[in-house]
Each structure stands twice: as C-alpha cells, then as structure tokens.
A and B are shown apart, each in its own frame.
Chain A
Amino acid sequence: MKSELSTEEVSSLEPRAASISPDFSFLREVGEASGEKVSLCYQCRKCSSGCPVSFAMDYLPDVTLRMVQFGLRDRVLSSATIWICASCQTCTTRCPNEIDIAGVMDTLRQMALASGFETRAAPEVRDIPKFHMAFLDSIRAGGRVHEAGMVVRYMLKTNPRAKLKSGALLEQAKFGWQMFRHGKVKILPYRIRQTGEIKKLFKKSGR
C-alpha cells in the first residue's frame, strides 16, 4: 500500500458499517432450495479461475456466492452471471469445500424465474431464459426436442421484428439453409405415443 494517502483516500478505506447490513434469510433460502452450504465458501476463487465463461459475467462466481452470503438478493437474481453460467460443472468439480456451485446457479436461476427477475437482467442475457422455455415447450409438445421446431419457437419468443430489421433473422435463415443442405435438419417432428405422460409431468412441475 502507498505510504502517503490523502484524507479522502484514508476515509475511503475505513469500513462503512452502515452500507452493509447482511440479511441471512437469502442465504438460508438458497441453502434450503439447493441443499448446498454456500456459507462454506471462503473465496479461494478456484471457481472463478477455472470458469470458461467468466469473461462474459458481471459478477464472478465467487463474488456471486459472497453476495448470497450477504443477502444481496436483488443484485444476484437480476445478474447476468446466473444466465451466462454454461453449467459446465468445472467449479463444482474443483471447489475445495465441495459446494455444488453449478447446482447453486440452477437454484438462483429458478428463484429468478419464480419472481420475474430475469426481465431485469442485462439485455444481452434476456434471450437465454427464453431459449430454455422454447426448449421445454418442444419437449412438452412431443416428448422429444424437435430441433427445427425449437429454433422457430425461440425466434418467435425473442423479438423477431427487431431481428428482421437488424438482419439477424436473415443471418439465422442462411445458417439454417446451410444446415438443411447438409442434411442436418429434420423437418417433421416425431411425437412419442406417450405424450400424455410427459404433459402430466409438466403439469406437476412449475413450468
């Protein structure tokens, strides 16, 4: 640390107790829903060091856990981080305290969806939960994901008019044509005979 600090700099280093008032109810809720002890995290940052998508996050994984410990519910649930997490399980595999961090991310995403926080996240991640919904819709419809149909569902959910204007839709169409030309697109969906069983599971779930 520098030896000469101005008065302002010194005061900026002083703990400001009033600015942080930990609320442990969020930590408890996350713990109950995920079955994980987030309080065990001591910020060794192994998770953030190995995270392949940390460059696109607003808070690193260890910071996110710290925020959960402090009860910063709104900031965590409206963060980009929880949607950027690609569920690659590297953090879960390497955590020295055996916290299933990717599992905690699942819990945070589910909590965000349950209270509409996904609409408050940064615009560049708002399409990610819509992708998941399009994917689940496709399963609900036929028991299996029909890729081509799922892509169309996703496009319809994610502002197709703006994408038409920006040219993104055309790019997507060209891409689809490439895939089609190489025999990678299955045109007609296959519905399993027992679609009713699948619909029942969806009804029982929160989705």
Chain B
Amino acid sequence: MRVSYYPGCSLEGTAKEYDESTRAVCQALEIELAELEGWNCCGATSAHCTDDFLSLALPARNLSIAERKGLDLVVPCAACYQRLKVAEKKLAQNPLPDFSYEGKIKVKNLIDFYSQEELLEKLSRGVKKPLAGLRVACYYGCLLVRPPKVTDAVNYEDPQNMDELMNLVGAESVNWCYKTDCCGGSLLLSRPDIVIRLIQRILDAALEAGAECVVTCCPMCQSNLDIRQRELSKETGRDYNVPIFHFTELLGLALGSPGITRWLNRHLVSPRELLGAKGLL
C-alpha cells in the first residue's frame, strides 16, 4: 500500500518521535509513505486567526501537490488534518485560482487510516509484545474530530477508534469524559497559565478513571500534556508523573519496533518506570 505523507512542522521538531514511530508502524504494516515534496506549513491556528486567504492558500498548496501525485494523503497531526480538511471542503465550493485541486484524492488522519479492516488485521497479526495490563486514557483532543462537518468524524463527542487500536494491541482503554476536551495548544507560549489549568483537568480526569498514562494523536496535545507537568506539580503541590504517549509509540512497542528506546528518551515525563513495571521494556 502506498500513500502520500504530510508530517507537518511539529514532527520535524518537538514531536520527532511521532514521525519516527509513525514511519516504524507503517513499515511494519507494509505501508509505503511517500512524503509530499516541498510541503509547507498548514498555517495552523495562527493563520485562521489572522487572515482568511492564508488560512486557505497554505493548506491548498499542499493539497494541490498531493493531487498531482495522485495518492491519498495521510496526516498524523490532528491540527494539520483539520486545516487540510477545512481547505478541502472550502475549495470544493470556491476554488482558489492560485492552486488547482479537484478533490480527486482523500485526506485521512492516521487513526482513521489505520482503522481500515485490512490494516487492523495486519496489526493484530503483527503484535509481538501485547501491552497487557497497561491502562490507557485515549485523548483525541479537539481538531481530529471537530467540527464534524469539517472532519467527517462520526463519534465526535465520544470517539472510539483510538481506543479500539489500543485494545487491539492488548492495552486496556479506560472510559473517561475528557477525550475531546481542549488542552489549550494554541496558547502554549502566550498564556501558559491557562494551559496549566486545562491540562490539570485532563490529567485529573484520566487518573480518576484509573488510567496510568495518556495516549494522544496530536503533537501539540502530547507536548502540552508532557512538558507542562513539572510546572503543574510545582503549582499544585501534587506530584503529577503521568506518561504521555503518541499512539504510534505504543503501537510500535507492541509491534516490536526497535526505535522505542530512542522515542522514550524524548519524553520529559519518562514512561520507563511504568513500562518497566509492566514488563514491556
């Protein structure tokens, strides 16, 4: 299977391990990722907050490159996914003269992509190290699912497909209420005080539901929840030490990908103790 791949800017920096684990899992599932040549930033929140044209033109350029290639476009970052979907929907009604895009290819987020039957079967057959006894809270965040008119998500208040992937590789996903609550990603630098309150809500809810770690599908959610925990602990006087995974890291671990040690080294809250205790490292 061959698809186009749009990593997005975070996966070249703070979320390098999301890129590496995505590639490792795809390799194990015999998926060939063809990275879009000369892709550019999707514009993210900063473009749509400040300029309508840029918020459309930046993702449109990527869609147009992908269409020339003729392969469906797979996107691991939930935020990039949403911006590309917004552009896809808007261009279908009002094409931009700057780029040709006729909607001949599909834009897919990585979770939906892995959730097709053929790949689920391969994934299930490929498990070398079942994540038995690992209780995970699947955190989808905002932009993978909202708004459903844009993302085409069916279960946008209580999504299930990451839970299904985790259960398929042997982990135990918990039921909880903050699956799609916002972590404040776009305010990470400008209002860390707000971000701290939001991640506290999310982490408290995950812990209360009995989870030992949180699994994400967005590089902003992962880094927000991971890197601000030290500050949160300092502020609350409570010791938060909750490992935050990219969902591909756990899939990679279950599939026996050798990159796992390198990926885990990039976490600020180290998952080693937890995974070691479960006999998974």
By a beta-carbon cutoff of 8 Å, the part of chain A in contact with chain B is 52-53, 55-56, 84, 86-90, 92-93, 100, 102, 106, 109-110, 113, 124-125, 127-133, 135-136, 138-139, 143-148, 151, 154, 175, 178-179, 182-186, 190, 192-194, 197-198, 201-202, 204-207
Contact = CB atoms under 8 A, between A and B. Distances in A.
A206 to B, nearest CB: 5
Interface residues of B, number: 52
Given A56-B191, A184-B266, A144 B12 contact: yes
Contacts of A106: 48-49, 52, 55
A92 B44 CA distance: 18
Interface string B134-146: 0000000011001
A89 B142 contact: yes
A143 B13 contact: no
Interface in B238-274: 265-268
Contacts, number: 165
Interface string B110-153: 00000000000000000000000000000000110011100000
Contacts of B201: 52
Nearest to B98: A201
A12 B207 CA distance: 49
B147 A132 contact: no
Contacts of B156: 93
A6 B201 CA distance: 44
A89 B147 contact: yes
A136 B47 contact: yes
Interface in B40-83: 40-41, 43-55, 57-58, 61
Interface in B1-41: 9-10, 12-14, 16, 38-41
Contact of B146 (A88, A113, A192, A193): A88
A151 B181 CA distance: 26
A52 B181 contact: yes
Given A136-B47, A139-B58, A143-B40, A131 B14 contact: no
B233 interface: no
B266 A182 contact: yes
Contacts of B13: 146-148, 184-186
Contacts of A143: 38, 40-41
Nearest to B82: A89
B275 interface: no
Contacts of A186: 12-13, 16
A62 B175 CA distance: 31
A190 B39 CA distance: 11
Given A129-B50, A139-B40, A86 B266 contact: no
Contacts of A131: 46, 189-190
A131 B50 CA distance: 11
A89 B58 contact: no
Contacts of A147: 9-10, 13-14
Contacts of A198: 40, 58, 61
Contacts of B98: 201, 204
B50 A183 contact: no
Interface in B215-238: 223, 227
Nearest to A95: B147
B51 A206 contact: yes
A145 B42 CA distance: 9
Contacts of A128: 187, 190-191
Given A53-B194, A56-B194, A89-B147, A144 B40 contact: yes
B170 interface: no
Given A53-B184, A131-B46, A144-B9, 9 more contacts: A53-B198, A92-B146, A92-B147, A128-B191, A130-B190, A179-B227, A184-B14, A186-B16, A207-B54
